[in-house]
Amino acid sequence: MRSPGPRLIRAAPSSPASTAVHWICPPCPIIEASPATVVAARALSRRYGQDDTAVHALRCVSLNIEREKLTAVMGPSGSGKSTLMHLLAGLDRPTSGEVWIDGTNVTKLGDTQLTKLRRRHIGFVFQFFNLLPMLTAEENVLLPLSLAGRTPDAAWHVELLASMGLGERRTHRPSELSGGQQQRVAIARALVTRPTVVFADEPTGNLDSQTGAEVLELLRRAVDAYGQTTVMVTHDATAAAIADRILFLTDGEIVEDLGPTSAQDVLTTLAALGSMATGSK
């Protein structure tokens, strides 16, 4: 059953002009972390704005992300899936609730500590690649290590480039690479630090279907071959179907949590959730 969302209540006015508004979140289910938990969220909420005009992007979400698994996050536009990823990755701060990454409470960290934690524990793959145009493919891959002041493991990054099909493209700049090759560079860059978790935000959203399928295969292989914990936000049922677990969000809440599922079943679930949302209006 879908849990009730947060609600706004007005405090008893201390004067006739008082308009104080307080954020009230109902009790969230208690979720115990297991030894396999690598990322955990507890009663996580995010709102933008104040008073009656506030937008509630995420509503009291609690979840565990397991080590060496690929978790997909799906939902319609505005459902809160990107907000959830940004909060889990420490790119944004919640209005309430807490996030842990590898046992560290991310929400308690200052900006400098948070930057250091992201460099050590988190890899990112975005829809639009975000490569530096003046650097070669290899230099883009090694950039996170350079920023962290860490010495590259030559054998590891050479293996990584080869596994991404970039062995012969390592000296090419982004303008000399196809979109699929640029995304391969971005994936290698996310993996090169051996992060605790990789967050992928619509990694195939800017690619054709064939190239997208190749990129998804690489993300799946990173989990299976390297044990890379991955959280992927996607609107693509085919992308979600490679995951070990699929979370469906609607109106800032997790409304369905499935194990490995076919693309057709993902579409069926999305259609059912869409019908429920339409019927509740």
**Nearest CA-CA partner of 144 in 186, 82, 199, 100:** 186
Question: Is residue 98 assigned to a domain?
Answer: no
Question: Is residue 179 assigned to a domain?
Answer: yes
DSSP designation for 52: G
Query: What is the Cα 163 distance to its own chain's centre?
Result: 23
Question: Is residue 251 assigned to a domain?
Answer: yes
pLDDT at residue 149, as a whole number = 84
pLDDT at residue 109, as a whole number = 93
Question: Is residue 34 assigned to a domain?
Answer: no
CATH number at residue 173: 3.40.50.300
Helices and strands: H and E segment counts in the chain: 8, 12
Question: Is residue 190 assigned to a domain?
Answer: yes
Domain of 112 in residue numbering reads as 67-93+108-279
CB contact at 8 A, 95 and 148: no
Question: Is residue 195 assigned to a domain?
Answer: yes
Question: Is residue 51 assigned to a domain?
Answer: no
- The torsion region of residue 193 among left (phi > 0), alpha (psi -120 to 50) and beta comes to alpha
**Nearest CA-CA partner of 199 in 166, 150, 232, 244:** 232
pLDDT at residue 32, as a whole number = 62
CB contact at 8 A, 165 and 184: yes
Total domain count, the chain = 1
The half-sphere exposure of 2 on its side-chain side, counting CA atoms within 13 A, is: 17
Please give the chain's pLDDT, 281 residues, in tens: 333 333 333 333 333 333 333 344 445 555 666 678 899 999 999 988 877 778 888 999 999 999 999 999 998 888 899 999 999 999 999 999 999 999 899 999 999 999 999 988 999 998 888 999 999 999 999 998 888 888 888 889 889 999 999 888 999 999 999 999 999 999 999 999 999 999 999 998 888 899 999 999 999 999 999 999 999 999 999 999 999 999 999 999 999 999 999 999 999 988 888 766 555 55
Question: Is residue 23 assigned to a domain?
Answer: no
